[in-house]
Amino acid sequence: MKTFTHAPIKIEEISATTGADGNRVYQTPDGKLYPSVTTVLAEHSKKGIMEWRQRVGEVEANKISRQAATRGTKIHGVVEQYLRNESITEKISLLDKEMFDVIQPELNKIDNIRAQEVGLWSHHLRLAGRVDCIAEYDGKLSIIDFKTARREKDVDHIQHYFMQTAAYAIMFEERTHIPITNLVIIIAVDDGVVQVFRSKRDNYVEQLLYYRDLYEVYK
């Protein structure tokens, strides 16, 4: 098993709570309340999700959503322990184990980890969130996000993932003055495939601000 090098950067912690609308809100150390970037970007995929729920039916959609959420949480837990050089104690199913085995070679391209599951925020963006991993991927400092999926994704269908990681890059630079331009999305798919998508932060800033402004107008 690979031993990962850690070079953590200290960032003040933020606290999460639930707002009046039921969505997650973060409080910064100076008392500002900001919505999570995932809440703001939910508008990006809401139409497609509603169409999918109508197509498969509410009962089946709820079942699939619960299974996906459980699997995503478990895989995230295993990945976090693995990158921390810890023994994996998370109890996972055979399918989850197979998904981790598939994703492991991509995890081994990560090193010099600066942060894992750390809360970030930006006064400029008026957003906050919790980043999966900030580390070198193939030798380049990157924002790295881990996802699971039932089917393989087309890059056009993961634009909100890139907007999310672009937001984390901006937040991290605001907090530390360390710029990060590389975005990496690693997706473990149920059929045993791993997908890796890469892009640059500045490709998504304009879209991110559009959805931020839309949220603030209609919230």
Q: State pLDDT tens for residues 138-165.
A: 999 999 999 988 889 999 989 999 999 9
Model-level pTM? 0.88
Total tally of structural domains belonging to the chain: 1
Residue 142 has which token pair? 């990157």
Q: What is the DSSP letter of 31?
A: S
8 A C-beta contact, residue 36 and residue 129: yes
Does residue 15 lie within any of the structural domains?
Answer: no
Return the SS3 of 147. Answer: strand
In a domain? residue 32: yes
85 in any annotated domain: yes
CATH number of the domain residue 63 falls in: 3.90.320
- Single-letter amino acid, residue 13: E
> Residue 51: which domain range?
25-218
* 16 is a domain residue: no
Among residues 185, 202, 203, the alpha carbon closest in space to that of 194 is found at: 185
In a domain, 56, yes or no: yes
Rounded to the nearest 10 degrees, the angle between the axes of helix 159-176 and helix 37-56 is 170
Q: What is the pLDDT of residues 184-210, one digit of tens each?
A: 999 999 888 999 999 999 999 999 999
Within a domain: residue 5?
A: no
* Dihedral angle computed from the Cα positions of residues 117, 180, 199 and 99, in that order, rounded to the nearest 10 degrees: -20
d(CA 60, CA 84): 36
Query: Cα separation of 216 and 45, whole Å?
Result: 17
> Which of 40-54, 84-98, 102-116 has the least mean pLDDT?
40-54
In a domain, 54, yes or no: yes
Q: Is 6 a domain residue?
A: no
